[in-house]
Amino acid sequence: MLAIDLRGTRALVAGVADDGGYGFAIAKALAEAGATVCAGTWPPALNIFLNLLERGKIDAARRMPDGSLLQFEKIYPLDAVFDTLAEAPEDIRGNKRYKDVGDFSIAGLAQRLVQDFGDRPLDIVVHSLANGPEVKKPLLETSRAGYLAAVSASAFSLVSLVARLGPLTRPGGSFLSLTYMASERVVPGYGGGMSSAKAALESDTRTLAFEAGRKYGLRVNTISAGPLASRAASAIGKIEQMVQYYAANAPLTEPLTAREVGTTAAFLASPLGAGSRGRPSMWTRATTRWGPRCMRAICCKTSSVVRYPSSVKGSAVTDDGRRTTDDVHHRCPDCASVGHVGDQSPQGADGIPP
């Protein structure tokens, strides 16, 4: 029998603060496969998470198939926008949510792991965190500070984690992150520089896979997950509509569950996923061919690539989550012929590279 066996390994999942997101589901799947799991939790959410655990509020979600409860070996405070404690401004260090938790930077996390478990304590690192303070704003209205904050928290944090935890990870180990299709398709509503951050995350995954592969013998992958109404995603404001859209249009119409992404992560982190590195694994139930309508088509008269702004015909999603006919056919703004805007292959419409 082919089974995912992670017994004897230790994982660090950065970005767990409740039972509603991908990080929790990944932690649980890794534990079910036999891994010992530590968590990295954002200081503003740390006390809430510890309370949820202590008061048994998420015991149902923690319940494992054998009846036991998912245990976190350690829960570390982690603010992934700071590489070292010295970089954190005074008002953050003095903030009531931060001042008593010790070194919450990425370097601090690395130091604590070594103190607690020795020089090479890790086998699996999962980056399941993102933050875009202006996510509700269209890119055109995003400030420089908001854009850079999104990229810092959601993309550079992975680079820093690989740089600082790579040397602590045993050869053959695995880094994983979570990305979203807005990196390559226009998804109205996923603003504030978050689409740019996901594009950076994916590009960095390729480069990090090469560099960390050569330097430490590690694999680096990212999972492109479909929409899930997690706490972070609810901040987008349209997440329920996005879930409905996928359910209405994807080849498999059951909504994606966090568990499916969790088990994919466990597979990729295990020796069974050893052949995968540096590429997004699409895990959307919508396959690589689907994305909200808009963006790109071939004009049937001029054969040029026609790019449609996301404002053409407004949203791609109807009130009840269906795709409209009008989303599929648009007029080419150049020659007024009707173009087909659907069915982009991973190579791009009609073989034109995306």
Q: Which residues bind ligand NAD (CB under 6 A)?
A: 15-17, 20-23, 42, 45, 78-81, 128-131, 153, 178, 180, 225, 227-228, 230-233
Whole-number minimum distance, CB 167 to ligand NAD, in Å? Answer: 21
Active site residue 190: yes
Supply 65's token pair: 């198939």
Chain residue whose CB lies nearest ligand NAD: 21
Q: How many CB atoms lie within 10 A of CB 99?
A: 11
Q: CA nearest 342: which of 315, 309, 304, 316?
A: 316
Strand-pair category, 295-298 with 305-308: antiparallel
Going by the DSSP 8-state scheme, the letter that residue 69 receives in this structure is B
Alpha carbon separation from 319 to 226, 237, 244, 330 (Å, rounded)? 19, 15, 9, 20
15 CB contacts (<8 Å, ≥6 apart)? Answer: 21, 23, 40, 41, 42, 126, 127, 128, 129, 130
Q: Which is nearer to ligand NAD, 27 or 349 (CB)?
A: 27
Cα gap 197→335, rounded to integer Å: 35
**Beta carbon nearer to ligand NAD, 209 or 228:** 228
Query: Could you tell me whether strands 338-340 and 329-331 are parallel, antiparallel, or unpaired per DSSP bridges?
Result: antiparallel
CB of 331 to ligand NAD, least distance (A): 32
Which of 16, 124 has the CB closer to ligand NAD?
16
Parallel, antiparallel or unpaired: strands 219-225 and 75-77: unpaired
246 carries an active-site annotation = no
Question: Which residue's CB is nearer to ligand NAD, number 131 or number 344?
Answer: 131
C-alpha to C-alpha distance for 286 and 226, rounded to whole angstroms: 8
The distance of closest approach from Cβ of residue 241 to ligand NAD in the complex, given in angstroms and rounded to an integer, is: 12
> Among residues 9 and 157, whose Cβ is nearest to ligand NAD?
157
Residues 327, 341 contacting (CB under 8 angstroms):
yes
Between 34 and 255, whose beta carbon lies closer to ligand NAD? 255
CA distances for 342 relative to 112, 325, 346, 350, angstroms: 50, 11, 12, 10
Catalytic residue, candidates 190, 216, 246, 308: 190
CB 235 to ligand NAD: min, Å = 8
Least gap, CB of 215 to ligand NAD (angstroms) = 24
> Residue 325: what residue type?
T
CB atoms within 10 A of CB 237: 11
Least gap, CB of 128 to ligand NAD (angstroms): 4
CA–CA gap between residue 231 and residue 15 (Å, rounded) = 11
Q: Least Å distance between CB 129 and ligand NAD?
A: 3
Q: Write down the catalytic residue from 22, 180, 245, 308.
A: 180
Q: Which is nearer to ligand NAD, 81 or 349 (CB)?
A: 81
The answer for 112, left when phi > 0, alpha when psi is -120 to 50, beta otherwise, is alpha
Catalytic positions, please?
180, 190
